[in-house]
Amino acid sequence: MEERIFDEAFFKGLNRVKHVSRAAMQGGRSGMRRSKAKGSSVEFADFREYVAGDDIRRIDWNTYGRTDKLFVKLFIEERETYYSILTDASTSMKYGIPKKSILAARLAGALTYMALDNLDRVRLLSLYGDKVKISSDYTGRQGFKKALSWLENVEFGANTDLNCSIRRIPFHNKGVTVLVSDFFSKDTTDKNVENILEAIRYLRYMKQEVILLHVLSPQEISPELEGTMGLIDSETEEMLRITATSRLCRQYKEVLDRFCIKIEQAAKKYQAHYIRMCSDETIEQFIYSGIKKGLLES
Amino acid sequence: MGITRWWPIALAVFIPGIVLLYLLKQKVREQKISSLNLWKEAYENIQANTPWEKFRNNLLMYMQIAALIIIIIALMSPYLTGRDSGYGDIIIMIDNSGSMSGIYSEGVTKLDEAKKQASDYINSGIDARFSVVSSNGYAGLEISGETDKKQVIDAVNNISETHREGAFDSGVSMVQSLVSGMKDYKVLAFTDESVNVQELNCEVIDLSVAGENGALHSVSHSIGEDGTVKVLAYIANYGKSKLITDVNLYLGDKLYDIQTVEADSGKDAVVYFKDIPAGRYRGLLNSDKPYLMAEINSDDMLMADNSAYDILAGTNDQKILLVTEKNSFLENALTLGNTQTVLDKVKAEDADDLDVSKEGYDLVVYDGEVPDQLPQKSNIIFINPKLSKNTKGWQKDIFLYKDNKNNVLVKTKSSKVTEYIEDYSFSCIKAKEFELPSWAYSFFETSSKNTTGYCGYYGGRKIAVIGFDLHNTDFPLQTEFPIFMFNLLKQTMTTEILERNVYNAGEQVIVNRVENTKETVVTDTTEKKEQYAFEQDTIVYDNTNYSGLYSVKEGKNIMYFSVEFPASESNISEKAVVTADKKDIQVSKHINDKVSTRTYIIPILLILTGLLMVEWRVYRKKL
């Protein structure tokens, strides 16, 4: 890659935050996440009367002294969360100055770091065309290095159908699925939003907490076009001849805003998180937005 | 609307250049973007909102083309409106004399062209008060100081064609009185003849057109000793080239003969139709159409002068009765120059025994006598009638006797009776003075301005009165006397419907009442009949604007008269020469209005400047 994805600025502040997952983990391995399972953790959950077969080591003798009844202490068992971080590897992600793909990789890297730091398990996936490239599961700090290496080697440059690609991903347990994309496709805006909605619904069905990270470039947010131009779609190579007037640019911004709002509303409908990022923004700004939206906590 | 110069229109070749420049400029710059979908939607939204978005894309190009067109128009110096707008009053003077009936272009007479040019001018957006004057020897004020253009154009269009003779002088006189006191006026004079516009601020539009014109000025006949008739037609060639044409002779409305005649340019020719049988002539004379008509048998620039009529009149013997003691002057004078006059003489004492009515005298001359009873039909001349101051009976209406004067100077007064002897006077030893009756006109008056000779139409007959004895003057010894008597007989002998049968266009026709008819019907050249009731013994018919054959009918009597096209109006080869008292007058074929055209370049350039400013603003906005 021309630009270093994971530079010094990237690592600054990563230690300050961790992901607040609403997903109460079930199954999986022990970790730092509170699970619904009551187990051998140090975190107290509740009391219940002793029944035969209970571990007598968990009887609370202090309570017995006050009530003359045997009570057993219940503790919340902490288990790891399984993160699936999906990166849209379509051609459109290569667009922009700086490229959206760079921010996408950094966001994926940052979330990987937060997850691994919290003793969770992470897998990285790139949606390339109708294929899905899936990394191995990463855990621990060693896993983070491997993950960064994997992210640096993600190849962008295909026409990706998000909905179709996501349905090819195997989900075995509850977990958190992060989708980093510009959400552009060859379909019309309404059809595109419908596909995104379908994808979120599918992920929710697969018991995933969904986080949508919408990455746009500055040129997409505030296009600076002039005169008569031929705009070429990076994915379909289709050309649209326009005369760029200030009125047309204003109209474009209105359409873009409506598109983003529709995605956000779709996310809200299925209790998914939605954060919009510009490719010239830093990880700190992402963290700030995440904290603001209750996705991250310091 | 008009254009001063046409060459700037060649600059229009640059318009394709502008379009080409825009086409080249619009070479598409390609740019890759992540996705087209949002742009497509935005573009469709704009196009849905503004269907002319495509036009707007090239707005600058259209504005530049418009600017170029405006520059071209400005260079062409159009004079669209406001010609002569600096004038508060515009007087349109249109010649409608006979020559204006000539052809200007195919199917259009000079008068039509004058009306068209005048109407176009009025309609061209001029803000002024308009007056319209027609001139055909007589000036007519058609409308004055009018600002309603529709009314002005109606007034112009109502000017009708006439065959009258007349220069513009009468019109110029009227316009001069019209513009007195006006400071900012302009006169537009439409004519084909020479005119002196004196000191008027005048622009003359010359409508003269050179071409071929032959005119048949007159036709007349003579009866030979053997009774055969010879007809003579007088033809003039006013055209540029030699005239060779057939001339038709009609007896009544029937074609009798055709002769070929040749006349060089500017020359005259006479064509004869000889040996018309006496019987044929008598038959024509007794028919209901007793006239000859000669006609040039080819079309030319002026058709109205191509025919002429000769109305045939009877040549019956005329009987005169002279009642006198002795008057050799009268005896000689009454037979003067007319071999067909039969003169009977009778003395006063024998006159009462004579039944004058029965004898059928056309004229009875009472010299020094007054009969007890008037003859029933005959015309009468009373010379020095014996009268008392208290007249009675019929005498009351004829003699309004005042006094008897001695040693008076008798002067002629301008009238038909004193034609050619105007301003003549003679001494008279004794003369009677009369009050002029309402039915008569005076031809002699004394030095005290009292009437002593009068003539008129009374009771279905002509009556003339002379208030002195011819022996008491030296008048009969003078050369003026036979002229006077000839005129007097001419006026008193005639009792026909018309006194003449040839008139000039526009001339008044006196129609006499014969046999106490109550009305008369005049039929004009277009067979249109007009009926007139007799309130007096004569009526005046003045609708003689067109040359041709007219007829007058009273009871069973019918009489024809012809109106001649004036020879001076036939000369179409003459160009309009305009003279003025103090300054040169420009003569043109169309209204000249170049002076005010420059004024309108400024508004055009202002529009151009505004357009360029808008263009600059649009350009800046695009940036």
Q: Where along chain A do its domains lie?
A: 8-23+81-297, 35-79
b/e burial code for range B526-556 (CB count within 10 A of at least 16 → b)? eeeeeeeebeebebebeebbbbbbbbbbbee
Higher per-residue confidence, B22 vs B551? B551
| Substitution target from B21, B26, B29, B36 for chain A, most A beta carbons within 10 A | B36
User: Rounded to a whole number, what is the distance in Å from the CA of A184 to chain B's nearest CA?
Assistant: 6
b/e burial code for range B440-473 (CB count within 10 A of at least 16 → b)? bbbbbbbeeebbbbbbbbbbbbbbbbbbbbbeeb
pLDDT at A14 over 90: no
**Residue range A66-117, pLDDT digits in tens:** 888 888 877 655 567 889 999 999 988 988 888 999 999 999 998 998 888 8
Q: Is the dihedral of CA B497, B500, B504, B510 positive or negative?
A: negative
Give the mean model confidence (pLDDT) for residues B508-528.
85
Residue B301 and residue B211 in contact, taking contact as beta carbons nearer than 8 Å: yes
Q: What is the DSSP letter of A17?
A: -
Residue B426 and residue B475 in contact, taking contact as beta carbons nearer than 8 Å: yes
**Residue range B161-179, pLDDT digits in tens:** 899 887 678 888 888 888 8
- Name beta bridge partners: B32: A232
Closest CA to A49 of A15, A27, A28, A74: A74
Radius of gyration in angstroms for the set of CA atoms belonging to chain A, rounded to a whole number: 23
User: Rounded to a whole number, what is the distance in Å from the CA of B58 to chain A's nearest CA?
Assistant: 10
For B96, the 3-state DSSP assignment is: coil
pLDDT at B80: 55
Give the mean model confidence (pLDDT) for residues B239-267.
90
Domain span(s) for CATH 3.40.50.410 in chain B: 89-208+577-592
Q: Strands B363-367 and B379-383: what pairing?
A: parallel
- The fold of B214-293 is Immunoglobulin-like (2.60.40)
* CATH superfamily assigned to domain B89-208+577-592: von Willebrand factor, type A domain (3.40.50.410)
Q: Cα(B414)–Cα(B433) distance, rounded to whole angstroms?
A: 18
Domain span(s) for CATH 2.60.40.10 in chain B: 214-293
Please name the residue of chain A whose CA is at the shortest distance from the CA of residue B26. A228
Q: Cα(A288)–Cα(A285) distance, rounded to whole angstroms?
A: 5
Using the Cβ of B479 and the Cβ atoms of chain A, whether some distance falls under 8 Å is answered with no
Q: Cα(B284)–Cα(B252) distance, rounded to whole angstroms?
A: 7
**Which helix (DSSP H) or strand (DSSP E) does residue A105 occupy?**
helix A100-117
**Residue range A141-190, pLDDT digits in tens:** 788 889 999 999 998 888 878 888 898 898 888 899 999 999 988 777 78
SS (H, E, C) B26-74: CCCEEEEECCCHHHHHHHHHHHHHCCCHHHHHCHHHHHHHHHHHHHHHH
Q: Is the dihedral of CA B159, B164, B165, B169 positive or negative?
A: negative
Closest CA to A84 of A47, A135, A13: A135
Which of these CATH numbers, 1.10.287, 3.30.70, 1.10.10, 2.60.40, describes B502-564? Answer: 2.60.40
Find the distance separating the first CA and the last CA of chain A, reported in whole Å.
31
**Residue range B442-456, pLDDT digits in tens:** 999 998 899 999 998
Q: What is the DSSP letter of A236?
A: T
| Substitution target from A97, A242, A250, A256 for chain B, most B beta carbons within 10 A | A242
Residue B56, both tokens: 């707007």
Please name the residue of chain B whose CA is at the shortest distance from the CA of residue A242. B43
pLDDT at B146 over 70: yes
Q: What percent of chain A has pLDDT over 70?
A: 85
CATH code for B318-493? 3.40.50.880
Domain span(s) for CATH 3.40.50.880 in chain B: 318-493
Look at domain A8-23+81-297 and name its CATH class.
alpha beta
- Stretch among A20-34, A74-88, B6-20 having the lowest mean pLDDT: A20-34
- Say which of A220, A228, A248 has its CB closest to residue B34: A220
Using the Cβ of B31 and the Cβ atoms of chain A, whether some distance falls under 8 Å is answered with yes
**Residue range B330-364, pLDDT digits in tens:** 888 887 655 556 777 887 777 666 676 666 788 88
ipTM of predicted complex: 0.80
Q: Cα(A79)–Cα(A97) distance, rounded to whole angstroms?
A: 41
